[in-house]
Amino acid sequence: MSKDTQGTPVLEARGLVKRYGKVTALDHCDFDLQPGEILAVIGDNGAGKSTLIKALSGAIQPNAGEILLEGRPVSFASPNDARAEGIETVYQTLAMSPALSIADNMFMGRELRMPGLMGQVFRKLDRKRMEDFSRQKLSELGLMTIQNINQPVETLSGGQRQGVAVARAAAFGSRVVILDEPTAALGVKESRRVLDLIQEVRARGIPIILISHNMPHVFEVADRVHIHRLGKRLCVIDPKDHTMSDAVAYMTGASVPEGVAEPA
Ligand SMILES: Nc1ncnc2c1ncn2[C@@H]1O[C@H](COP(=O)(O)OP(=O)(O)OP(=O)(O)O)[C@@H](O)[C@H]1O
């Protein structure tokens, strides 16, 4: 884990603007994710967190501003562009096919084909390789309480499903994993497992952006907390130097962090 904020950020945004008609969802928003960290993004409802994440993951295109990946300006026309650069996002909806197996869900849209003619011409899937890969990824993240890789995803618990989604993102997200409210729909035990999983992903050197309304979860795992307010980054705090009530007061505007000008 690195707390070094001097180096080149893995992912950075400068002056992002996104308008929806008369609504300014992002208002010259800055952002930075440092190597190896868990960065939480918090903010009130409608502050623009999802819009920021969508811009960073290629789901929307900002009207202005720039995004830099390891210091290099990038422009994502679609989520596939961001994925191709190693940025994986787990949305709250999880985007899984419930009737398909865990292995199939791990590979959705990226299936491995058989070598040679069978794969290239007949498009035959290499099930064995896909299953082995899925098994390996799930066990690396300590998720092998899931017995059968061919089990349909609809038979898994909420926490296990979230686990598969995080494992998928960690397997393909070579540079950044973005998690949108990963514990929102989970019970205490399942949330615990997902929080452990997030820390395991960080331990593997992949930085994580965690969007969450759950302050105890944020304060437990985040290295830094990006506080979003009125479409932009208000400040970034170190959770060790602030309380949860400080963070809530900043994000709601009840108090202003030191060194930040009161918004007009
Ligand atoms: N597709 C859209 N069309 C019109 N307005 C939108 C659209 N998406 C977001 N907005 C508006 O942009 C603003 C920011 O929304 P956004 O969803 O990014 O906030 P948020 O911080 O993620 O909120 P929440 O915590 O409630 O999910 C809101 O005023 C919202 O109504």
pLDDT per position as a tens digit, 192-250: 888 888 998 899 899 999 999 999 999 999 999 999 999 999 999 999 999 999 999 99
Domain with 165 in it: 37-58+78-99+152-252
Mean pLDDT value across residues 181-197:
83
Q: What are phi and psi of 65, to 5 degrees?
A: 100, 175
In a domain, 262, yes or no: no
For residue 139, what are the β-bridge partners?
none
**What is the distance, to the nearest Å, from the Cα of residue 179 to the centroid of all Cα atoms in its chain?**
3
In a domain, 115, yes or no: no
CA distance 53 to 33: 12
In a domain, 16, yes or no: no
User: Across the chain, what does the average pLDDT equal?
Assistant: 87
User: What's the CATH number where 207 sits?
Assistant: 3.40.50.300
Nearest residue CA, atom 24 of ligand 1?
A: 45
Ligand 1, atom nearest to 228 Cα = 21
Among candidate residues 65, 57, 77, the one with its CA nearest the CA of residue 175:
57
Could you give the maximum distance between any two Cα atoms of the chain, in Å? 65
Pocket of ligand 1 from Cβ distances under 6 Å: 20, 23, 25, 43, 45-51
Instruction: Find out whether 230 and 27 touch, Cβ atoms under 8 Å.
Output: yes
What pTM does this model have? 0.88
Q: How many domains does the chain have?
A: 1
Ligand 1, atom nearest to 21 Cα = 4
In a domain, 21, yes or no: no
Nearest residue CA, atom 18 of ligand 1?
A: 48
In a domain, 54, yes or no: yes
Query: 2 pLDDT exceeds 60?
Result: no
Among candidate residues 123, 131, 128, the one with its CA nearest the CA of residue 103:
131
Ligand 1, atom nearest to 51 Cα = 18
Residue of 17, 19, 20 to test ligand 1 pocket, by largest number of atoms within 8 Å of CB: 20
Which residues, in sequence order, are CB contacts of 109 under 8 Å at separation 6+? none
- Tell me the Ramachandran region of residue 14: left when phi exceeds 0, alpha when psi lies from -120 to 50, beta otherwise: beta
ipTM over 0.90 threshold: yes
Query: 143 pLDDT exceeds 80?
Result: no
Least confident of 63-67, 91-95, 165-169, 242-246: 91-95
In a domain, 162, yes or no: yes
